[in-house]
Amino acid sequence: MTTAMKKVLTGNNSVSWGVKLSRVQVISAYPITPQTTIVELLSEMVANGELEAEFIKVESEHSAMSAVIGASAAGARAFTATSAQGLALMHEMLHWAAGARLPIVLANVNRAFGPPWSIWTEQTDSLAQRDTGWIQIYVESNQEALDNVILAYKIAEQVNLPVMIVLEAFVLSHTNEPVEIYPQEMVDEFLPPRENPLYVVEPGNNYAVGSLGGPDVYMEWRYKMQKAMERAVDVIKTEGENFGDHFGRKYGLYEGYMLDDADIVLVSAGAFTSTVKYTVKHYRKETGEKVGVLRLRAFRPFPHDALREALCCRKKVAVLDRNISFGHHGIFYSELKSALYRLKDDKRPPMFGYILGLGGRDITPKDIREIIEDVKTREEIEEDIIWKGVKP
């Protein structure tokens, strides 16, 4: 087997390489910062003949998603990428893709919604697509971005649900890191051409997709979708382990860092978790206090059981949300609260929800250190949102 090559790549171009290695057959996208360079590189790869795929230019993200829906329904492996307003424009078709049970992979580069106009990172855009029926996986590094595109197809094509890979604007999308690029044959072994599609729309095959489903059948199909999502929890876990066996990098439903013996657990998702890990490592060294980190990866399906098990009996849990559901709380915070509700009172840790870093504001080790100090002072939940860094 040829050895892997290393390249210095941005997060976006790592995604492009993941797409290339997955031998995607149809790509359709509409440019939007900070996503654009993902499909820019892909279009070059297609034009150069490095990637044998159809690249469909479209006039909007709604059309881009429609095009990959068509491609996927026709049996192809399809990919698109977008950000914020673009993702919102796709919203209708996101439901459509999931409802039609198509294993499309989308890379969303987290970007804050306008107004006020912003191109910087925030998780609200992807989290707002929570109920579309898409699997969502949040990544921390460029390598994880590349790996998880491959993994996403592996998962999607087993459960017949679409997968959204989520990475942060600029912090990942435009930042270079050394990334290992696997030999194609190694990827081919792990991810063979798309197998056993639920259906293929093609001449001579007279299916109707998206036809009327009356009250007599609709609910059953929604039940099947939920069951597929539930099944996805196991598939993500198993395939993450298989990926580790094959490529040497293992991925789970979540990632623990200094978690095993931790009394205080900081929960976050995405690239800024690196800052959290860094701070925790130093904090432990300096104070000896048992602080740990739980990085969320799978948001949909939300791995309730695994998280309940991971957080059971901890002294305190702090959730760091770079997002907000207006009129409610940080989204990861409220999701996690509901997951832990089934724990007995004495086993359920008090939780504190911090909102920070909105619209791309920097999250620094100092911020994290202050949060740890703050958590230590708190015993009971007094407020559901603890704002971090709002300037007076």
Nearer to another protein, 208 or 390 (CB): 208
| Smallest separation (angstroms) from another protein to the CB of 224 | 6
Q: In whole angstroms, how close is the CB of 79 to another protein at the nearest point?
A: 20
Nearest distance in Å: CB 191, another protein: 21
Bridge partners of residue 318, in order along the sequence: 266, 352
CB of residue 102 vs another protein: minimum separation in angstroms? Answer: 8
User: Measured over all CA atoms, what is the biggest interatomic distance in the chain, rounded to whole angstroms?
Assistant: 70
**Across-strand partners of 257?**
293
CB of 104 to another protein, least distance (A): 13
Which strands form 105-110's sheet, in the order they lie side by side?
54-57, 26-29, 78-82, 105-110, 163-168, 135-138, 298-300
Place of tokens 């790996």: 147
User: In this complex, which beta carbon is closest to another protein, that of residue 209 or of residue 258?
Assistant: 209
Residues 6+ apart with CB under 8 A from 335: 299, 302
Q: Near another protein by CB under 8 A, which window of 96-104, 120-128, 253-261, 302-310?
A: 96-104
Output the CA torsion 97→98→102→103 (10° steps): 110
Q: How far is the CB of 100 from another protein (least distance, A)?
A: 6
Q: Site residues for another protein, window 201-240 (CB under 8 A)? A: 206-211, 213, 216-217, 220-221, 223-224, 228
Comparing CB distances to another protein, the nearer of 49 and 203 is: 203
Question: How many Å separate Cα 150 from the centre of its chain?
Answer: 13
- CB nearer to another protein: pick between 113 and 199: 199
Nearer to another protein, 51 or 65 (CB): 65
What are the φ/ψ torsions at residue 357 (nearest 5 degrees)? 65, 20
Interacting positions 176-205 with another protein (CB under 8 A): 198-199
Report the C-alpha gap between 34 and 83 in whole angstroms.
7
The residue from 23, 77, 101, 314 that contacts another protein (CB under 8 A) is 101
Q: Which is nearer to another protein, 48 or 196 (CB)?
A: 196
Q: How many residues can be counted in the chain? A: 392
Q: How far is the CB of 221 from another protein (least distance, A)?
A: 5
Query: Is 92 an interacting residue with respect to another protein (CB under 8 A)?
Result: no
User: Binding segment for another protein among 98-106, 302-310, 367-375, 378-386 (CB under 8 A)?
Assistant: 98-106
Judged by CB, which is closer to another protein: 224, or 342? 224
Contacts with another protein: how many residues (CB under 8 A)? 20
Smallest distance from another protein to CB 234, Å: 17
Indicate the residue among 216 and 346 with the shorter CB distance to another protein. 216
Is-contact 82 35, C-beta < 8 A? yes
Q: How far is CA 377 from CA 18, 370, 380, in A?
A: 44, 11, 10
Please classify residue 55 by burial: count the beta carbons closer than 10 Å to its beta carbon, then call 0-12 exposed, 13-18 middle and 19+ buried.
middle
Q: Nearest approach, Cβ of 260 to another protein (angstroms)?
A: 39
Produce one character per residue of 57-93: b if its CB has 16 or more CB atoms within 10 Å, e if not: ebeebbbbbbbbbbbbbebbbbbbbbbbebbbbbeeb
Segment near another protein (CB under 8 A); pick from 15-23, 54-62, 99-107, 282-290: 99-107
Alpha-carbon gap, residue 70 to 65, rounded angstroms: 9
* Positions that interact with another protein (CB under 8 A): 99-101, 160, 198-199, 206-211, 213, 216-217, 220-221, 223-224, 228
